[in-house]
Amino acid sequence: MERLTDKPAARGVLDRYRDRLPVTNETPMLSLGEGGTPLVSSRRLIERIGCKDLYFKLEMCNPTSSFKDRGMVVAVAKAAEADARAVLCASTGNTSASAAAYAARSGLDAFVLVPHGRVAKGKLAQAVAHGARIFAIRGNFDDALAIARRVSEKHPIALVNSVNPHRIEGQKTAAFEIVDDLGDAPDLLFIPVGNAGNITAYWRGFVEYFQAERASQKPRLIGWQAAGAAPIVRGEPLDDPQTVATAIRIGNPASWEAAVAARDESGGEISAVTDEEILAAYRLLAEEEGIFCEPASAACVAGLLKYAARPEALEGPESLRDQTIVCVITGHGLKDPETALAIEAEVPEVDADLAAVESAMGLA
Ligand SMILES: *Cc1c(COP(=O)(O)O)cnc(C)c1O
């Protein structure tokens, strides 16, 4: 009998891209159906931006509702292949949710170090549900990552943060999918930047497809950090990064150099948006496009709005008029319900009565 995982849509990235990933005959074909996420066109935002085409790559549609699954499936499969008994990560939330799910799927233990009091509730709920052993470190993400690295050096536990090269390999598959869906690479890719693994991975994917002649061009990568957590923009690490976008609240990105190389080789840039701009874009995306993402994801849309307002984006050779743009929507809004409800939590109570409801709805 054919099993569910044998169906094309549910094959996952290890199987679908096995010849472009570090897959051997011994690698377990782990999958929760990650990858193959929708590339959805903009209906309303595009009018404000004034570009030729605008798409959202909905990475929130992965099994644990963030792009982290693409890299995690590779990292956990390789850990299982190497006979590791446990995986370990430091996490602002999504990495731990993904590590916990794929570890559960493979029968490995998962250890998670989160910065104390700074992880969105939905993400913590995911790690708890999958049975991960979670420790809240009295420090920030960067402290937690430094300790995780030391633990994995001393003990036979696989570190599955994006310093694990298999993570970046898996994450590059999103760039392949964009090229396959569009028939070529876009002109510009807008992406949030935290630990900077994802921008690194996209660049690798686009370069690989270009070299394999699957694409005629490579996009310019336009990365966005939060203003209170913008070490790459400022050119120096930060001790106490602050932003509502907890997934990019990182003061010393692990993939800093690779991200700067991706920025420069692509002719792109990495800039910053404020929390106000992030929350405005977060609402806009939900209200005008029907896409409910988490604040970190909205950073790239905030960045697009800012970019499109520059004089050179309106007129001249750099004008957006002929450009095809993709925004990477990295994670789901339900992961951070507190931010969502802080914006507008006013739900009036009404009697269970037709006339009362009609009156409340303004129909009476
Ligand atoms: C991890 C994450 C990011 C940042 O990606 P990096 O690879 O750390 O730069 C952005 N958004 C979401 C939702 C994330 O989970």
Q: Summarize pLDDT for 322-350 with one digit per residue, the tens.
A: 999 999 999 999 998 888 777 666 788 99
pLDDT at 11: 82
State how far the Cα of 308 lies from the Cα of 62, in Å rounded to an integer: 29
Q: How confident is the model at residue 345, as a pLDDT? A: 66
Ligand 1 pocket, CB under 6 A: 66, 68, 94, 162, 192-198, 247-248, 294, 296-297, 330-331
Nearest CA to ligand 1 atom 2: 247
Strand 188-192 with 220-226, pairing: parallel
Q: Which amino acid, 346? A: E
84-111 pLDDT, tens per residue?
989 999 997 899 999 999 999 999 999 9
Cα three-residue angle 143-241-326, rounded to 5 degrees: 110
Pocket test for ligand 1, best of 66, 246, 282, 334 (most atoms within 8 A of CB): 66
Looking at residue 10, its pLDDT comes to 58
At 346 the pLDDT is: 76
Q: Does the pLDDT of residue 282 top 80, yes or no?
A: yes
Average pLDDT over residues 246-251: 93
The residue nearest atom 8 of ligand 1, judged by CA position, is 195
What average pLDDT does this structure show over 238-263?
Answer: 94
Structure confidence by residue, pLDDT tens digits, 4-32: 555 545 589 999 999 999 999 999 999 99
330 Cα to the center of ligand 1, angstroms: 7
**Sequential DSSP letters for 315-331:** SSTT-GGG-EEEEEE-B
Residue whose structure tokens are 């964009």? 178
Is residue 2 pLDDT above 50, yes or no? Answer: no
Give 184 Cα–ligand 1 centroid separation in angstroms: 25
